[in-house]
């Protein structure tokens, strides 16, 4: 049975944090921050604004665009690497605030790649569960201190996608998922201290594994990278997106990028990018999602427009 993407949604906090605000804090210049990351500004949530707050806002935006109420959902998934390390996770709160009282809600505590894993799971579960809402929400600003390797990168926000067995704008064709826990300490947060990241290890692994997983899923569907209309990737940094494009042999313009304005919003970034792309320039043809994140977890999904 086929699964379809019916709509996307997003929420970004109001506060804009430009490089100039961070430069003195991390002992660098605004120009240096942009040169190493491609990021010019990012959004940070208010101190009282939570992962669940942002997740609810993105969910409501997605449902509004789909023209359905939350009561039509058969399942909810909430991905977040920055959510509470205790229990219950944010999925239960998001479900309650959407007015759900018996719909299953699942937490995916996976940083950066959580929304990708959620989409892949929803693709399989839509057959039995019906409409599955995948939400990814991150408050990364709460995890960073003054380390220039991390403080310059991260922003806050939330994205959402509605996956359904009912026909929609894009049909989900295939997904590949991978995990290698041997390097799990290279990118980690234990709930008590600041985020830890070995930037060189992460970027080298991501630059290899993202194009490899994209190639894997495209070859299974007999689609070439050149046939893809747009690549909607985890927005880690602009330099990584450029490297992935080069590895795949496609123009950098095919990599949709909004990391310049929002920074790295971890698991939320891919769905925020998808929501913005779908609103502005939804070209017909195959689209590819891909992400790499803590764990290490990574993979890719290919879909095709139904128009």
Tens of pLDDT, residue by residue over 175-188, are: 999 999 998 988 88
- Count of other CB atoms within 10 angstroms of residue 180: 12
SS (H, E, C) 149-181: HHHCCECEEEEEEEEECCCCCEEEEEEEEEECH
Instruction: Note whether 9 and 63 are same-domain residues.
Output: yes
Q: What is the mean pLDDT of the segment spanning 64-85?
A: 94
The pLDDT assigned to 189 comes to 85
Provide the CB-side half-sphere exposure for 104 (13 A, CA): 11
Q: In terms of domains, do 84 and 193 share one?
A: no
- Two tokens at 30? 């605004």
Q: Are 239 and 98 found together in one domain?
A: no
Q: How many residues does the chain have?
A: 307
The last residue of a domain, from among 164, 184, 206? 164
Q: How many structural domains compose the chain? A: 2
282 or 139: which leads in pLDDT = 139
Under 8 Å between Cβ of 256 and 244: no
Q: Are residues 115 and 256 in the same domain?
A: no
d(CA 240, CA 102): 41
Q: Average the pLDDT over 105-115 and give the result.
A: 96
Position 249 confidence tier, pLDDT thresholds 50, 70, 90 = very high
Which pLDDT score, from 0 to 100, does residue 25 have?
83
Mean local confidence (pLDDT), 92-120: 97
| 116 & 265 share domain | no
| pLDDT attached to residue 71 | 96
Do 143 and 197 reside in the same domain of the chain? no
pLDDT the model gives residue 148: 72
Domain that holds residue 215: 170-305
Determine the pLDDT at residue 183. 87
Alpha carbon separation from 240 to 4, 136, 204, 237, 286 (Å, rounded): 29, 21, 9, 6, 22
pLDDT over threshold 80, residue 73: yes
Pair 51, 177 in one domain:
no
Token pair for residue 179?
């995990």
203 and 117 in a single domain? The answer is: no
| Domain end among 148, 164, 180 | 164
Same-domain check for residues 134 and 174: no
15 and 84 both lie in a single domain = yes
Instruction: Enter the DSSP assignment of 280.
Output: H
Query: Dihedrals φ, ψ of 232, to 5°?
Result: -105, 95
Task: Say whether both 92 and 217 belong to one domain.
Answer: no
Rounded Cα gap, residues 234 and 150, in angstroms: 16
Q: Which of 221, 238, 235 is nearest to 292 (CA)?
A: 235
Of 113, 132, 164, the one marking the end of a domain is: 164
Considering the domain architecture, whether residues 65 and 87 belong to the same structural domain is answered as yes
What percent of the chain is predicted at pLDDT more than 90? 81
Q: In which residue are the tokens 């009912």 written?
A: 166
Q: Rounded mean pLDDT of 213-234?
A: 97
What is the domain-level CATH number for residue 177?
A: 3.40.47.10
């Amino acid at each position: 049975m086929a699964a379809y993407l019916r709509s996307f949604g997003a929420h970004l906090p109001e506060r804009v944090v430009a490089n100039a605000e961070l430069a003195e804090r991390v002992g660098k210049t605004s120009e240096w921050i942009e040169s190493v990351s491609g990021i010019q500004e990012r959004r940070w949530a208010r101190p009282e604004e939570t992962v669940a707050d942002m997740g609810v806002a993105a969910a409501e935006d997605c449902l509004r665009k789909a023209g359905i109420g939350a009561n039509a959902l058969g399942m909810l998934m909430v991905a977040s690497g920055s959510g509470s390390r205790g229990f219950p996770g944010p999925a239960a709160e998001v479900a309650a605030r959407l007015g759900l009282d018996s719909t299953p809600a699942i937490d995916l505590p996976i940083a950066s790649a959580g929304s990708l894993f959620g989409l892949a799971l929803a693709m399989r579960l839509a057959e039995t569960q019906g409409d599955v809402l995948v939400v990814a929400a991150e408050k990364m600003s709460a995890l960073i201190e003054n380390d220039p390797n991390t403080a310059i990168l991260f922003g806050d926000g939330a994205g959402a996608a509605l996956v359904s067995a009912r026909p929609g704008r894009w049909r989900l064709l295939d997904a590949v998922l991978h995990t290698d826990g041997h390097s799990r300490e290279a990118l980690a947060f234990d709930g008590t201290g600041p985020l830890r990241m070995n930037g060189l290890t992460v970027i080298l692994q991501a630059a290899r594994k993202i194009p490899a997983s994209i190639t894997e899923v495209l070859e299974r569907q007999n689609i070439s990278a050149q046939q893809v209309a747009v690549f909607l990737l985890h927005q880690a940094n602009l330099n990584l997106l450029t490297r992935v494009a080069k590895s795949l042999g496609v123009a950098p313009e095919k990599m949709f990028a909004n990391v310049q304005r929002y920074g790295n919003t971890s698991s939320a970034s891919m769905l925020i990018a998808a929501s913005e792309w779908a609103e502005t320039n939804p070209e017909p043809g195959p689209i590819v999602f891909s992400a790499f994140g803590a764990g290490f977890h990574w993979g890719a999904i290919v879909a095709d427009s139904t128009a």
